[in-house]
């Protein structure tokens, strides 16, 4: 028995089934004490391994998504931002919009929580093993420009188009020249009605013609962004200044 047990442990370690090694003794004891069949014991033992692989997979999906921070929906103070409908955000967290290939646009001034909410939804998606990627608009444009110069634009566009959820942060913070706007349009057109995209912007849609420096391209982008989209207009104080405002209120 001892030699068989040792051989089993060696085999499991060789196969890198570390959770099965860790829980082997307790599973054998449980099987003996509860008259568990060999098959049921094996199911119990392999469940430990699967659970750990699932945990590691989720961690990997979240890491690969390149979020700027790990802020989830439980960390968002809805009482500070009453213009945000909590039930609507929780519906987004259910990922129903991804199944329907719809977009979300968070619109509002700097610091009101646009990126936090977008990231929270992205983390929820990644945790459910939905391919997700976060990128700032300026970095996206720079990457597409670089790819075009290196004659690999098509591959780069396909890379960003493959994610079931792409989060493009901070549209409008920096101007985009007309040539770069065309690159951006190509990506939006590839994803249109195929995948879901979350956008955050501090600029009203009427100002997008100035941002992209080409009214025709701006309209074409907006047409595809907004066709199947929910726009969340956040009106309120800067979320980043919340603690300072609270302190001033307490001192007054």
Q: Are 208 and 222 in contact (CB under 8 A)?
A: yes
**Domain with 30 in it:** 2-63
Together in a domain, 144 and 230? yes
Residue 5 has a pLDDT of 93
pLDDT tens for 227-237 read 999 999 999 88
Together in a domain, 55 and 164? no
Together in a domain, 155 and 197? yes
Asked whether residue 249 is assigned to any structural domain, the reply reads: no
pLDDT band at 239 (very low <50, low <70, confident <90, very high): low
Asked whether residue 250 is assigned to any structural domain, the reply reads: no
Asked whether residue 248 is assigned to any structural domain, the reply reads: no
Residue 155 has a pLDDT of 97
Asked whether residue 14 is assigned to any structural domain, the reply reads: yes
Query: Alpha-carbon distance 205 to 118, whole Å?
Result: 19
Range name among 58-67, 189-198, 207-216 with the lowest pLDDT average: 58-67
Together in a domain, 176 and 58? no
Asked whether residue 217 is assigned to any structural domain, the reply reads: yes
Residue 22 CB neighbour total at 10 angstroms = 14
Task: Output the DSSP codes for 192-244.
Answer: TTTSEEEEEESS-GGGHHHHHT-HHHHHHHHHHHHHTEEEEE--SS-GGGHHH
Range name among 1-10, 22-31, 73-82, 210-219 with the lowest pLDDT average: 1-10
Q: Domain end: 36, 63, 90, which one? A: 63
Residue 236 has a pLDDT of 81
Together in a domain, 148 and 90? yes
Kindly compute the dihedral angle of the four CA atoms of residues 120, 125, 131, 132, in this order, to the nearest 10 degrees: -10
Together in a domain, 43 and 122? no
The mean pLDDT of 181-201, rounded to a whole number, is 98
Q: Are 165 and 194 in contact (CB under 8 A)?
A: no
The mean pLDDT of 197-217, rounded to a whole number, is 95
Phi–psi pair at 210, nearest 5 degrees: -75, -40
Written as six digits, the tokens of 196 are: 């879901």
Together in a domain, 182 and 96? yes
Domain count, the chain: 2
SS3 per residue for 175-194: CCCHHHHHHHHHHHHHHCCC
Together in a domain, 138 and 80? yes
Count of residues in the chain: 252
Asked whether residue 208 is assigned to any structural domain, the reply reads: yes
The mean pLDDT of 29-39, rounded to a whole number, is 93
Residue 179 CB neighbour total at 10 angstroms = 12
Residue 175 has a pLDDT of 87
Asked whether residue 252 is assigned to any structural domain, the reply reads: no
- Of 59 and 84, more confident: 84
User: Which residues 6+ apart lie within 8 Å of 159 measured at CB?
Assistant: none
Together in a domain, 132 and 226? yes
Together in a domain, 27 and 52? yes
Asked whether residue 68 is assigned to any structural domain, the reply reads: no
């Amino acid at each position: 028995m001892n030699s068989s047990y040792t051989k089993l442990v060696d085999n499991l370690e060789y196969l890198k089934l570390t959770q099965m090694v860790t829980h082997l003794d307790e599973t054998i004891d449980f099987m003996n004490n509860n008259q568990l069949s060999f098959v049921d014991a094996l199911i119990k033992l392999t469940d430990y391994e699967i659970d750990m692989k699932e945990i590691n997979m989720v961690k990997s999906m979240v890491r690969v998504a390149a979020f700027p921070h790990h802020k989830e929906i439980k960390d968002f103070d809805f009482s500070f931002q009453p213009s945000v409908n909590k039930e609507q955000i929780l519906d987004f967290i259910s990922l129903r919009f991804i199944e329907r290939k719809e977009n979300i646009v968070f619109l509002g001034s700097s610091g009101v929580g646009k990126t936090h909410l977008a990231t929270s939804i992205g983390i929820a998606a990644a945790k459910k093993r939905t391919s997700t990627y976060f990128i700032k608009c300026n970095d996206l444009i720079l990457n597409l420009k670089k790819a075009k110069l290196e004659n690999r634009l098509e591959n780069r566009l396909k890379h960003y188009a493959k994610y079931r959820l792409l989060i493009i942060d901070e549209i409008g913070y920096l101007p985009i020249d007309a040539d770069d706007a065309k690159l951006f349009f190509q990506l939006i057109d590839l994803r249109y009605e195929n995948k879901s995209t979350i956008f955050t912007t501090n600029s009203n849609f009427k100002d997008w013609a100035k941002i992209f420096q080409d009214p025709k391209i701006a309209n074409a982008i907006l047409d595809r962004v907004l066709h199947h989209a929910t726009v969340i207009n956040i009106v309120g104080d800067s979320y980043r200044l919340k603690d300072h405002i609270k302190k001033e209120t307490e001192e007054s």
